[in-house]
């Protein structure tokens, strides 16, 4: 049985944490002039400098032993080969197969899934080319100008982040919008400026049962019908779906040939590589979408084949474990010094916290050590004038990942130079501080704060794909060493179930809820004229959100622009 916290290596790391508690990162550089070269690594268009970490040579070697003695290589091989490693849901985990650009088959239950994946990509390509080339026309014969993706969680965060990051590659005659929040003001604001004749809606929901997504989808459907006076088949020219539930999508009104399917073994937060990436392909084009997959595949190959001591995801994962389990870090800051990556911290929040926010191991036993960190951050240099004060002088220990692109666009040279030098200055200041030789007072920054620096030669589809896959594998390595299942999310399911139950029970004075919840339910009920929208919907026996849509959106007149 794999018993992490009682292992010899774990105990050794605890000892090293005590022995090196007063070590300074700057002294590691003084003792080893070649530290930067030894503790930096390049893969394609990505360069990682991990030398500014509280990491001695002995600590690093011991962390590598921790990985070697864990089931990492075994579970890594199982993941790539299609074995069931999501044990609580009895599923394989094959987001890597979605971006497999090699010739090797990947089997699930004895069947090679690669032909299905290739067929799905061909369907994606055909549709993408038609829309981008102006061949896919709306009900009035006009080309599509606006694409609205309706989803939440992994059906929103990944595509949204990538589309924003790769905005320079976006089709010049198309705009992309993302609706995720169930707040009616969100969808109302986006729909207000759209023309139904030139708008395409993508309903992205794995099961076609997610409450928030269906509410927004039905609101969009009603808006479209009221604006366009469109009936029957015309709806199919403006609504497509990405889902594993074809029957439910067709019942909603999506044409069968406009449903882009994927598989149960595609986890939501790992799904942008699948048909969930449809808005990405529509934005940047199919060929560049493939470049995104190729970048991730390059990282997959590196992760599988590189020795642990030269393996970028493994190194980042082990550094994180050192801080979380032995130095008491509770959070991880991600600071992109690139405005195009402003949504990356939100994406990584879900990737990391939904994956490794677990307190029981693979056998269902409570763990006696910390697991996933709280991931947070925003773009630099904005963060410097917001929360960097706490990072420099506060009592919290917060490791940082700095991420930047070296690419300089014409006319922005001064801005990019200032951006990059600010990042280098902050990484230096966090390590060195300014307290050396001075009395500790309110002006002093003690330093010794660790960071990684990730540089992209260029923020293009290939490098972005590699960057995302790097963090995916980092999370997987940490989950494997902690012996937790990184691929389920039962905490998310609990909230969904309770939301459905409360919406159904709000009319009654049920005693199954605590006094606080009952009191709040009554206050909410009073604001819906004596009968909740759900009760009205149930009485009408129509679509789940038909009654709510009239509350959420007041349609404006249709535009007549070409």
Catalytic annotation, residues = 354, 385, 496
What is the spatial distance between Cα 140 and Cα 131, in angstroms, rounded to a whole number?
15
For residues 66 and 481, is the Cβ–Cβ distance under 8 A? yes
Asked if 416 contacts 404 with a C-beta cutoff of 8 angstroms, the reply is: no
Collapse the DSSP code of 560 into the 3-class scheme (helix H, G, I; strand E, B; otherwise coil) and give the result: coil
Closest CA to 292 of 133, 453, 473, 459: 459
Q: Extract the runs of DSSP E, i.e. beta strands, from 189-330.
A: 199-204, 239-242, 259-260
355: how many CB neighbours lie within 10 A of its CB? 24
C-beta of residue 434 within 8 angstroms of C-beta of residue 445? yes
Per-residue three-class SS string for 466-523: HHHHHHHHHHHHHHHHCCCCCCCCHHHHHHHHHHHHHHHHCCCCCCCCCHHHHHHHHH
Closest C-alpha among 348, 332, 306, 140 to residue 229: 140
Contact 206, 152 (CB under 8 A): no
Which one, of 317, 318, 346, lies nearest residue 334 by Cα? 346
CB 54 within 8 A of CB 23: yes
Let me know: does 129 contact 286? Beta carbons within 8 Å. Answer: yes
What is the phi-psi region of residue 144: left when phi exceeds 0, alpha when psi lies from -120 to 50, beta otherwise?
beta
Rounded Cα gap, residues 171 and 286, in angstroms: 11
Determine how many CB atoms are found less than 10 A away from the CB of residue 406: 14
Asked if the bond preceding 135 is cis, omega within 30° of 0, the reply is no
CA dist 262 and 245 (Å) reads 9
DSSP helix/strand/coil, 94: coil
Q: Report how far residue 31's alpha carbon sits from residue 39's, in angstroms, rounded to the nearest whole number.
A: 14
For residue 145, give both structure tokens: 């100008």
Tokens standing for 99? 């971006």
Coil, strand, or helix at residue 130? helix
Ranges of beta strands (E only) in 435-475 are: 451-456
Residue 361: alpha-carbon gap to chain centroid: 23
User: Which position has the token pair 């006009």?
Assistant: 142
Degrees (nearest 5) of the Cα angle 138, 143, 144? Answer: 80
C-alpha pair distances (Å), 57 with each of 20, 309, 368: 12, 11, 27
């Amino acid at each position: 049985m794999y018993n992490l916290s009682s292992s010899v290596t774990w105990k050794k790391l605890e000892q090293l944490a005590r022995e090196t508690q007063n070590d300074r990162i700057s002294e590691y550089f003084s003792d080893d002039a070649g530290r930067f070269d030894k503790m930096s690594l390049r893969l394609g268009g990505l360069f990682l400098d991990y030398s500014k970490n509280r990491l001695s040579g002995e600590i690093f070697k011991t962390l590598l032993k921790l990985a070697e003695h864990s089931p990492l290589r075994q579970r890594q091989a199982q993941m790539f080969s299609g074995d069931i490693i999501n044990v609580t849901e009895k599923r394989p985990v094959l987001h890597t197969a979605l971006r497999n650009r090699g010739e090797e088959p990947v089997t699930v239950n004895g069947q090679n899934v690669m032909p299905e994946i290739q067929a799905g990509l061909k369907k994606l390509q055909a549709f993408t080319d038609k829309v981008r080339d102006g061949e896919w026309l709306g009900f009035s014969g006009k080309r599509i100008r606006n694409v609205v993706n309706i989803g939440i969680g992994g059906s929103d965060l990944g595509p949204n982040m990538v589309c924003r990051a790769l905005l320079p590659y976006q089709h010049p005659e198309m705009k992309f919008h993302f609706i995720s929040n169930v707040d009616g003001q969100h969808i109302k604001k986006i729909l207000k400026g759209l023309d139904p004749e030139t708008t395409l809606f993508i309903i992205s929901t794995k099961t076609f049962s997610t409450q928030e997504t269906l509410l927004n989808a039905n609101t969009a459907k009603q808006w479209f019908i009221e604006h366009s006076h469109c009936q029957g088949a015309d709806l199919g020219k403006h609504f497509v779906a990405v889902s594993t539930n074809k029957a439910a999508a067709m019942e909603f009104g999506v044409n069968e040939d406009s449903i882009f399917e994927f598989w149960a073994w595609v986890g939501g937060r790992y799904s942008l590589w699948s048909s969930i990436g449809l808005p990405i392909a529509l934005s940047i084009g199919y060929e560049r979408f493939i470049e995104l997959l190729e970048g991730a595949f390059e990282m997959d190959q590196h992760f599988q084949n590189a020795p642990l001591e030269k393996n970028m995801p493994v190194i980042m994962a082990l550094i994180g474990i050192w801080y979380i389990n032995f130095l008491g870090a509770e959070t991880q800051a991600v600071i992109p010094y690139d405005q195009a990556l402003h949504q990356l911290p939100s994406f990584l929040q879900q990737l990391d916290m939904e994956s490794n926010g677990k307190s029981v191991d693979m056998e269902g036993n409570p763990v006696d050590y910390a697991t996933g960190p709280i991931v947070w951050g925003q773009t630099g240099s904005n963060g410097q004038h917001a929360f960097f004060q706490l990072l420099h002088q506060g009592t919290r220990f917060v490791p940082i990942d700095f991420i930047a692109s070296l690419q300089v666009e014409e006319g922005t040279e001064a801005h990019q130079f200032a951006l990059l030098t600010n990042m280098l200055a902050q990484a230096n200041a966090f390590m060195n501080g300014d307290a050396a030789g001075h009395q500790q007072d309110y002006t002093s920054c003690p330093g010794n704060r660790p960071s990684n620096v990730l540089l992209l030669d260029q923020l293009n589809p290939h490098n972005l794909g590699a960057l995302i896959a790097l963090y995916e594998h980092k999370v997987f390595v940490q989950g494997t060493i902690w012996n937790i299942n990184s691929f389920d999310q039962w905490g998310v399911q609990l909230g969904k179930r309770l939301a459905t139950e409360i919406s159904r029970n709000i009319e009654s004075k049920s005693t199954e809820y605590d006094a606080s919840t009952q009191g709040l339910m009554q206050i909410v009920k009073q604001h819906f004229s004596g009968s909740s929208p759900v009760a009205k919907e149930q009485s009408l026996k129509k679509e789940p959100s038909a009654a709510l849509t009239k509350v959420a959106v007041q349609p404006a007149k249709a535009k007549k622009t070409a």
